[in-house]
Amino acid sequence: MTVKKTPAAPNPALPRAKTNKIRQNYKLDPVLVERLRDSAQQRGMTVTAVIEEAARHYLDGQEVLTEIAETEARLAATMTALDREVGQAYSAVQINMAMLDQMAKFLFFHTEDLPGSEVVGATMRMNRRREAFIRELPSSYNKRRRRAAIVAAVEDQESQHGGAATD
């Protein structure tokens, strides 16, 4: 059987070792004082040591909370800037798609003046060519070769149909 030794309470009659600590008086709730004494006794510490430890933990926690708040503020600013940049990129993509659509319409619908009887057939052929071009565009559009792929698609369409102006 082991006997658990509890540290002896400091004897007030004995002289204390000199420290560089400052003596302060604070008013505390009696229930809190009792909890401090119980904690100190269970841990083999003085009440002062328990209060010092609690104060350090609290103040260190406050520093961490301040750091977290600063990090959150920087993150929010970064996300706001990123959101703005994504919006600008989206606008640029929309403008490019509109320009591409206008270019495709010009390439596939531009013809010399045709006699009235040939206009309907030419319009149908141009619509088919434009629709085929648009269907093929996503599969050939990637970051590295997007311009070359678009040019190749246009040239392929033109070669199949004898050129944009003559179809």
Q: Residues 117-161: pLDDT tens digits? A: 777 787 788 888 878 877 776 665 555 455 555 666 666 766 766
- For the chain, give every domain's residue range: 28-91, 110-167
- The model's pTM is 0.37
Least confident interval from 9-13, 18-22, 78-82, 133-137? 9-13
DSSP string, 12-64: TTSPPPP-SPPP------HHHHHHHHHHHHHHT--HHHHHHHHHHHHHHHHHH
Tokens of 158: 């033109």
Span 47-78, pLDDT tens digits: 999 999 988 888 888 888 888 999 999 999 99
Residue 15, Cα to own-chain centre: how many angstroms? 61
Q: Residue 40: which pLDDT band, with cuts at 50, 70 and 90?
A: very high
Residue range 84-93: mean pLDDT, rounded: 87
